[in-house]
């Protein structure tokens, strides 16, 4: 049976070019980047090359990129790190009700230890109104966290506008960009973000590696204490092969992203049209145009999602 994998929001296959680039760093180039000998320095140089690729992709500086174990750690670090560092200023956080669990559960944790969190609802299309963000700000607000694009419905949020509001009020602004990073061009200055989460396995890089962009001057508390790695923001010996793979995946995405997005948008809209023509009582969830090129999310009246997915799987189609 022909198998069709339609679950790229969950994870992607690692690009063979990425694997090829990673392989020597498991064997010949195995040095610890903290070591001063040539084995270590070779690893360190390769890490910084990967860091530069990610930084230039975002319009950031190399020293503003910190490698983490993935999107989840980046979100946890951003939210808890800013909350702990700014307790003297206030205890209020604003986020949306449709964030990934990594954001929502970090906020829930902070609520248990005395922080107050506003979870703003989104409209029918899954869009957050920047005016609602503005209204929710109090003199105790220390952080606003809004995802760039939804992993479920694919809606792309007005991050630039929300970032402008945050900047005017001098409030730290974090965006979980895990789903959009590597799929559409993004620039941290245009978005007005102070923190931005990324994950490698959503763009054909290896799993278990991600990054957090931290704008220079952002007050953060670190949670991994130990060695001097990542400018003391995140101790632990670097996952060198994964970092190299992540850098390669970003390099590939940078060169192919625009073409890929055009192609996927056509396929996405063709799939939506086909479903609407052939099936009754269907609803498209999320915004029709302000959505990721690779996302289709539908509900069918009276059809239970899980049974539909199991039946699709029996036909060789993997979806979420
Ligand atoms: N944030 C979003 C929007 C995601 O889609 C995901 C992954 O599903 C994550 C965070 C977590 O990323 P990771 O799997 O790298 O921890």
- Residues at CB less than 6 angstroms from ligand 1: 70-72, 75, 100, 102, 147, 151, 176, 178-179, 199, 201, 210
What are the CA-CA distances from residue 60 to residues 116, 189, 211, 242 (Å)? 31, 8, 13, 21
Which atom of ligand 1 is nearest the CA belonging to 9? 5
CA proximity to 57, closest of 213, 259, 207, 217: 213
Residue 46 Cα to chain centre, angstroms: 23
Q: pLDDT at position 305, please? A: 93
For ligand 1, atom 9: residue with the closest CA: 71
Torsion sign (Cα): 16, 176, 123, 290? negative
Structure tokens at 283: 């609803």
pLDDT per residue as tens, the chain (320 positions): 999 999 999 999 999 999 999 999 999 999 999 999 999 999 999 999 999 999 999 999 999 999 999 999 999 999 999 999 999 999 999 999 999 999 999 999 999 999 999 999 999 999 999 999 999 999 999 999 999 999 999 999 999 999 999 999 999 999 999 999 999 999 999 999 999 999 999 999 999 999 999 999 999 999 999 999 999 999 999 999 999 999 999 999 999 999 999 999 999 999 999 999 999 999 999 999 999 999 999 999 999 999 999 999 999 999 99
Compute, in angstroms, the gap from residue 67 CA to the centroid of ligand 1.
Answer: 15
Query: Which residues 6+ apart lie within 8 Å of 36 measured at CB?
Result: none
Structure tokens at 284: 């498209």
Compute, in angstroms, the gap from residue 267 CA to the centroid of ligand 1.
Answer: 24
pLDDT in tens, 162-183: 999 999 999 999 999 999 999 9
Bridge partners of residue 144, in order along the sequence: 94, 173
Compute, in angstroms, the gap from residue 88 CA to the centroid of ligand 1.
Answer: 30
In whole angstroms, what is the distance from residue 282 CA to residue 285 CA?
Answer: 10
In whole angstroms, what is the distance from residue 197 CA to residue 210 CA?
Answer: 8
Asked if 70 and 198 count as a contact pair (C-beta separation under 8 A), the reply is no
pTM: predicted TM-score of the whole model, two decimal places? 0.97
**Residue 103 is inside which H or E element, if any?**
helix 101-112
Compute, in angstroms, the gap from residue 72 CA to the centroid of ligand 1.
Answer: 6
Q: What are phi and psi of 3, to 5 degrees?
A: -100, 135
Compute, in angstroms, the gap from residue 139 CA to the centroid of ligand 1.
Answer: 31
């Amino acid at each position: 049976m022909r198998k069709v994998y339609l679950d790229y929001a969950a994870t992607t296959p690692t690009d063979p070019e990425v694997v090829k680039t990673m392989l020597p760093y498991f064997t010949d180039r195995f040095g610890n980047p903290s070591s001063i000998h040539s084995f270590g320095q070779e690893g360190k140089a390769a890490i910084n090359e990967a860091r530069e690729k990610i930084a230039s992709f975002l319009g950031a500086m190399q020293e503003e990129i910190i490698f983490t174990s993935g999107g989840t750690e980046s979100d946890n670090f951003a939210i808890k790190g800013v909350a702990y560092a700014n307790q003297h200023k206030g205890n209020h956080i604003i986020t949306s009700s449709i964030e990934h669990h990594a954001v929502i559960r970090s906020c829930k944790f902070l609520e248990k230890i005395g922080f107050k969190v506003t979870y703003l609802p989104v409209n029918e299309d899954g869009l957050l109104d920047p005016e609602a963000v503005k209204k929710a700000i109090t003199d105790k607000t220390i952080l606003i966290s809004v995802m760039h694009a939804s992993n479920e419905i694919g809606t792309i949020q007005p991050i630039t506008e929300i970032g402008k509001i945050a900047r005017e009020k001098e409030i730290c602004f974090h965006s979980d960009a895990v789903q959009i990073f590597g799929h559409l061009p993004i620039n941290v200055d245009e978005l007005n973000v102070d923190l931005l989460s990324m994950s490698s396995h959503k763009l054909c890089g290896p799993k278990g590696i991600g990054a957090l962009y931290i704008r220079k001057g952002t007050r953060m508390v670190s949670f991994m204490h130990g060695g001097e790695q990542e400018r003391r923001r995140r101790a632990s010996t670097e996952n060198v092969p994964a970092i190299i793979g992540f850098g390669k995946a970003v390099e590939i995405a940078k060169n192919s992203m625009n073409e890929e997005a055009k192609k996927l948008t056509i396929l996405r809209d063709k799939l939506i049209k086909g479903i609407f023509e052939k099936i009754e009582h269907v609803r498209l969830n999320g915004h029709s145009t302000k959505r990721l090129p690779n996302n289709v999310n539908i509900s069918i009246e009276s059809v239970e999602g899980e049974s539909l997915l199991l039946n699709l799987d029996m036909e060789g189609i993997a979806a979420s």
